[in-house]
Amino acid sequence: MSQSVANIFRDGQAYMNTWPVRKELYAYFPDSRVVASTRFALKVMPPIAVLACAFMINTLGYDYLPQTLAIGAFFLSLPMQGLFWLGHRSNQTLPPQLKHWYHEIHAKMRAHGCQISGLKSRPQYRELAQLLKVAFEDVDKMFTQNWFR
């Protein structure tokens, strides 16, 4: 199943917005670190690319325009690499250990009455991200509501 590059970038953007960036998950999933660094790169790399190009043209002149454009393109490609990795990752099926963990979390959340989507037989990382997002948002609220009544 091959996807177009545009679809992979779109999936990466959706996965980046879905994945819960919590310090509890940093030790278990590289996704948290990639999401944080991609968000940072999306904010910082375009201005750095402009500044690097302006500095190189100012100091070296237009004789080095191809090298200047290559450096600008490199800085602009860094956030794209993160989005591409996230898009590819979101479409991968979970390995057996994570699949079992996904099923356990899904069953526990159903038992607590959370409104979640149906159980997938071959879950992907995007379903895990949605489940973890609901777990960190809704279950925390339910726990605090029940605790302080």
CB atoms within 10 A of CB 61: 10
- pLDDT score, position 5: 92
Identify the residue whose tokens are 């994945």: 19
pLDDT per position as a tens digit, 36-71: 999 999 999 999 999 999 999 999 999 999 999 999
With CA atoms as reference, report the closest residue to 79 among 41, 113, 129.
Answer: 41
CA nearest 87: which of 12, 1, 10? 12
Residue 143 has pLDDT above 60, yes or no: no
Per-residue model confidence (pLDDT) at position 58 = 96
Which is nearest to 11 in space by CA: 107, 84, 110?
Answer: 84
| Predicted TM-score (pTM) of this structure | 0.85
Sign for the pseudo-dihedral over CA of 1, 118, 103, 129: positive
Predicted local confidence at residue 147, as pLDDT: 45
**Residue reference for tokens 């997002």:** 133
**Strand ranges for 1-149 from DSSP E:** none
Among residues 42, 43, 38, 45, the alpha carbon closest in space to that of 15 is found at 38
Instruction: Spell out the domain ranges in the chain.
Output: 1-91, 93-149
**Tens-digit pLDDT profile for residues 88-108:** 999 999 999 999 999 988 888
**SS3 at position 54:** helix
The DSSP result for 107-147, as a single string, is HHHHHTT---PPPPSS-BHHHHHHHHHHIIIIIHHHHHHHH
